[in-house]
Structure 1
């Protein structure tokens, strides 16, 4: 999910009362801000800074990539994502607030990535996004590394906890979503327009801030909304690129990243929740993914960093044995925990063949220089032998064998030199007894080489295949999740099935065939399901809930198009007409209620009560007509007249009695 770091900017003009109150009741204390810097010293490391932009401290100094930090609730720990490079995968790590005691939290995976950690409000768990299930899902793990499990929320990432710890907001293909902490009731509170991302729950639980792309597809403005998606308000304006918003612990500010077009870099800003008083807090480097914690402790800078770079020579190996034509390539790495490496040069470049042109002892030297001028040199000695062949018995893998992706198989081979001088070297692409590489699907090659004391050499080469037998996938594009469809409406279904391992899909069957009309014949909740089966007999079922409702065309006169009935006489029967596109019986209205309300803004002032009403249907006009009794004591008051329909909808008339 390297696409997850969308980054945006803000200039604010909104000062609405609804927005200004967001988060204002939190009792958290604003401390330091932790973030990723991708250009400082030529690396991607984590830093912390005071909320006023002072006391910048570097927390990580490895050669790896660290990003997406998140403070623990008590301000003592930082969770983040880290990749070791060289084809490895992202994992979740944890360290102390000063950068010490760095350790992996999630277990290593040979095929999956773990990203965007988020501490639970009580600090006992960490939610994160992962491809351990094949696609981006939300996962959970305890703070001690136990209890790893999936929440089952498909295509979800960038989790953010509700302050009571019962729910998680997340980014998904369909917009911003919310799911219970046990994985139940996933639903979306925004549409997909503008690719909304990076939700962050306010400390008092009243709002969620998130970012949307602009019309050009770049990071754009920040928005606030209630947790149910209502009362959405644009927080920033001005056409800047803003992204990754996060609340301050006290709920009065939001920190985010903004793109500086002139400098071609991202910097951190803060802004009030009323959209006022934007403040820039960093001015150099590419600064991304902030998290605002409660810790006030300023880490002490390292007083005695190492004086020289570190060199690892992996090939040729020290005291290694090689032979003419072996084909081993040179490989070495230079690193520094305190600076950037500006030069890393060996006697031969990386991936060049090891010099085995002549028999006898050889040396290989690598020299490193860092940004501050410190140097290091490392030399290894190896031996090149003469050749005649011993024998090799390669038992695992066998030539042409097939293994499942991730299968637990051990390399097994041995070398012998019957009647000869004896084996001095017996080695393969992996040592005998090591796990066979089944981490990726496709054709693999494996080689073993043996050499005896006289320099005689034998090579064995074979191939084996790794196949991905993961269950098939199902994508339902129509119907839409939790969508309302009119009774009898014509709407085509659309779905397809696929296999991660490119196996044949034997069947891909839905409630109806893809392209056929959706079932809208009966009102109420419906479920559309699709089941896929591949040639391995593995199945996957996906389902989409939707609802069928009456085609309500509004109320007839004297109710106006806005649903208002002015000048009704208190004590008279109120006649209301409406159409549901046909006669559906006299049970379409399950209950009619009156509720007192203020005139003008129609705010309810009391509970709703059942109304005395009689419903009839007029075939000649295709209209329902309901006579609803009123009270003469209602003179000069306003009431909300609600019709609860059996399809779950409830149209309403605002009645103003004269």
Structure 2
């Protein structure tokens, strides 16, 4: 596969073209705000669910996935929401009968493009698209597994992702973590889920380039914990030790903290928390009753955390919100 090199100027020009294209309809109501200072950025129409917010490298836009048929259901498209000025989200990729899904966190690199997973080639593979361009396939593999949840290394040369296999019952099996070069070569398995009897998911590369953060649970277990590991698979370390289900991790822009979704403290529904990258006691960021808050991403300037949110009903579509971020570190 021929290697594609992208420059920042081209990316920003393409983004300007993208935002001039037709949108998908935005919410005309005044901005709703919550008591915890969270404010709503976008809510889809009908049963559409807006998920997985990830900031653009310049912090002026928000990449997200919209599932057309509800939360994690049906076809899915990639859209970009401007955070300055007016206007609703613009479509980056929307293909009939296909699902294109990004990961919260480091899924948009200033020179390498937007990384996402899609079944547009028949099975879930890792793809990259430059705003205003066409998708470029990164992985191609055989078997029954899917390659999902990709994120970029800080230099844009590598992509880390998860490999997932469904059991015969339809339930997910034990996930492994892989990395591959941006040009599609050099695929290496970092953590072998079946061999270690663990399920490993949602890897995000740190902005300092030295570690990955991800969620893991033991085979047959129910609760997820957060771990960090070096990109070569060494230095595995558990990050969260408090009881609860801890998921959706991504990094602060300085790499000193991790933001995630958690039921820490005995919560019935997850809220947004942060924790120092070396471990410690989680700090709660959102505080909304009867509300699920998940899939958080930290803004490049460190001021905001974007996340998805819905009422307590698991099947209810999510909308996109942001909340002032606590001081990192």
- TM-score w.r.t. length of structure 2: 0.69
Q: Equivalent of 1:170, from 161, 166, 188?
A: 161
- Hey, what's the Cα distance between the residues in 2 that align with 1:278 and 1:263? 13
- Matched with 1:225 is 229
Q: Which has the larger radius of gyration?
A: 1
Distance 1:216 1:48, change over 3 A: farther
1:100 deviates by 3.8
Distance 1:188 1:124, change over 3 A: closer
- Hey, what's the Cα distance between the residues in 2 that align with 1:247 and 1:167? 17
Aligned length: 249
- Matched with 2:292 is 286
Correspondences of 1:162-311 after superposition (within 5 Å): 162-173=153-164, 175-192=176-193, 193-259=197-263, 262-284=266-288, 285-295=291-301
Correspondences of 1:504-653 after superposition (within 5 Å): none
- Hey, what's the Cα distance between the residues in 2 that align with 1:123 and 1:243? 28
Correspondences of 1:41-190 after superposition (within 5 Å): 55-63=37-45, 64-85=48-69, 89-97=75-83, 100-109=87-96, 111-117=97-103, 119-122=107-110, 125-144=113-132, 146-154=133-141, 155-173=146-164, 175-190=176-191
Distance 1:62 1:171, change over 3 A: same
1:214 deviates by 3.7
Structure number with greater CO (CA < 8 Å, separation at least 6) is: 2
Give 5+ residue unaligned stretches, structure 1. Answer: 1-46, 299-336, 338-658
Query: Which digits, 9 at most, give the CA deviation of each residue in 1:90-123, with x for residues without a partner?
Result: 01111112584301101322x2211125544315
Distance 1:79 1:219, change over 3 A: farther
Distance 1:260 1:140, change over 3 A: same
User: Equivalent residue of 1:236, what SS?
Assistant: coil
Query: Which digits, 9 at most, give the CA deviation of each residue in 1:530-556, with x for residues without a partner?
Result: xxxxxxxxxxxxxxxxxxxxxxxxxxx
- Matched with 2:9 is none
- The answer to whether the 8 A contact 2:43-2:50 is kept is no
Query: Which digits, 9 at most, give the CA deviation of each residue in 1:209-229, with x for residues without a partner?
Result: 111014543242111111101
- Hey, what's the Cα distance between the residues in 2 that align with 1:156 and 1:88? 18
1:124 deviates by 5.5
Distance 1:153 1:282, change over 3 A: farther
1:185 deviates by 1.4
Correspondences of 1:474-485 after superposition (within 5 Å): none
- Hey, what's the Cα distance between the residues in 2 that align with 1:263 and 1:48? 24
Query: Which digits, 9 at most, give the CA deviation of each residue in 1:170-213, with x for residues without a partner?
Result: 01135111010111111111111321001111111000011101
User: Equivalent residue of 1:92, what SS?
Assistant: strand
Structure with higher strand content: 1
- The answer to whether the 8 A contact 1:176-1:188 is kept is yes
- The answer to whether the 8 A contact 2:243-2:264 is kept is no
Correspondences of 1:373-452 after superposition (within 5 Å): none
User: Equivalent residue of 1:195, what SS?
Assistant: strand
